Amino acid sequence: MIDSLIISLQLALTTTVLLLLIGLPLAYVLAFVSFRGRTVLEVFVALPLVLPPTVLGYYVLLMIAPDSWFGSAWDSVFDSSLAFSFSGMVLASLLYSLPFAVQPMQQAFRAVPTSWLELGQTRGMNVRQMLRYIILPASKSGVLVAAALSFAHTMGEFGVVLMVGGSIPGETKVASIALFEFVEMQQQTEAAQLALILLFVSFVMLSVVYSINRKPLVVSS
């Protein structure tokens, strides 16, 4: 049980950090940049919200299979397979939790008053400076919500990680898979304990989200 919780925490933390790094520029583009194909990109980002996890896991597994171009390239560079590995689960988790990172930041960016952005432009700020001094300070709550939702969503993954990572003890067996196996083997005490821990984590992360959303907008000078 402890091993599966540690793997889940490692997966959730790794995925959350990477999603913030990937999601921030993506959210900026979707919030402020007009281009052909923008709707297609928004649909792609939001697709995991409605796509069955096993379907996403199936396509990710095809993409990272050793005989695919991506899986073959990964194996030649890192001398390891993505399929049924922790790295493969991270890749699947990035896709599965992408909307939970991008959408809160995108909404927060769009909520920044236009007058503030215009003021930055009149002062000759470039995109990096606008992000650093105006957009991110005004969108801190959206970034924190994105981190909290990404972490909680990744902790609760089941179908995607099972398809991509399998259930290898000490390597890819996350807490949700361990819980399923406890129930399957009728180990009710262990199942109840693990379910309670996951419930507590979800409750704490959602409490953080609602607490952040109730705070007024504050911009540092």
* Count of beta carbons in the 10 Å neighbourhood of residue 131: 18
Measured between alpha carbons, how far is 154 from 19 in angstroms, rounded to an integer?
A: 11
CA distance 1 to 194: 7
Q: Which tens digit of pLDDT belongs to each residue from 151-170?
A: 999 998 999 999 999 889 98
Q: CA of 20: how far to CAs of 65, 126, 129, 203, 208, in Å? A: 27, 21, 18, 22, 17
pLDDT exceeds 50 at position 219: no
Please say whether the beta carbons of 172 and 86 come within 8 A.
Answer: yes
Residue with tokens 């990172």: 101
- At 145, the amino acid letter reads V
All domains of the chain in start order, with CATH: 2-214 (1.10.3720.10)
State the greatest distance between any 2 C-alpha atoms of the chain, in Å, as a whole number.
66
Residue carrying the six token digits 């821990």: 197
In this predicted model, what pLDDT tens digit does every residue of 56-110 receive, in sequence order? 999 999 999 888 899 889 888 888 888 899 999 999 999 999 999 999 999 999 9
